[in-house]
Amino acid sequence: MLKTIDSLFLTLKKINLYLTMETAEKTNRTHLGRKISRIRELRGMKQETLAAELGISQQAISKLEQSEEIEDSTLEKIAKVLGVTAEAIKNYSDEAVINNIQNNYDNSIIHGGPTVNHNCTFNPLDKLMQALEANKELYERLLASEKEKNELLKGINSKL
């Protein structure tokens, strides 16, 4: 009975391995149309926009996105409009994008990786007070200049 269970378990493992390999093989096949569609969607571009940029109809884009293979010249044009290289389209995978996003998240400030410091490196109130003092000094200089002009005008008027 125990041998039968072990044998059954081993058979299930083999089937699982086979299915995993078969699924991986299917996903590794290049379906350029789907890749173009995903990149277009990630770029926030509609089929109509891509079609207009390429000078073709939206229906032609829909047909392209359903095609497993696409001519290199057409792929180059599409890549240029999408802002990527033809190689990037050929090598695109959702898994890589998810890993990239995950890695960027994992390298956030919590994990001590490369970060952008969004915290102030100065006291904003100190900067505000400095600006206020600078404005006060400018106002005082302007006032002194106006007083000087008034004194000069009084002197000119008294001579007349």
State the number of CA atoms in the 13 A half-sphere of 138 facing the CB: 6
Confidence of residue 100 (pLDDT cuts 50, 70, 90): low
Q: Which two tokens stand for residue 27?
A: 């996903």
What percent of the chain lies above the pLDDT cut of 90? Answer: 30
Q: Which stretches of the chain are DSSP H helices?
A: 2-28, 32-42, 47-54, 58-66, 72-82, 86-91, 94-106, 124-159
- Per-residue pLDDT of 110-133, as tens digits, reads 545 455 555 667 788 888 999 999
Q: What is the mean pLDDT of residues 124-150?
A: 93
pLDDT score recorded for residue 5: 63
Q: Give yes or no for residue 17 having a pLDDT over 80.
A: no
Q: For residue 14, what pLDDT is reported?
A: 64
Question: d(Cα 70, Cα 63) in Å, to the nearest integer?
Answer: 11
Which comes out higher in pLDDT, residue 79 or 108?
Answer: 79
CA distance 126 to 138: 18
Q: pLDDT at residue 19 above 70?
A: no
Q: Rounded to whole angstroms, what are the CA distances from 52 to 7, 45, 79?
A: 60, 11, 14
| Contact yes or no for 61/51 (Cβ under 8 A) | yes
The token duo for 159 is 């001579």
pLDDT over threshold 60, residue 28:
no
Average pLDDT, the chain: 78
Q: Given this model, what pLDDT does residue 48 score?
A: 92
With CA atoms as reference, report the closest residue to 32 among 93, 115, 83: 93
Distant-in-sequence contacts of 120-127, Cβ < 8 A, 24+ apart: none
Amino acid at 37: S
Backbone torsions φ then ψ of 64, nearest 5 degrees: -60, -40
Task: Indicate whether 144 pLDDT > 90.
Answer: yes
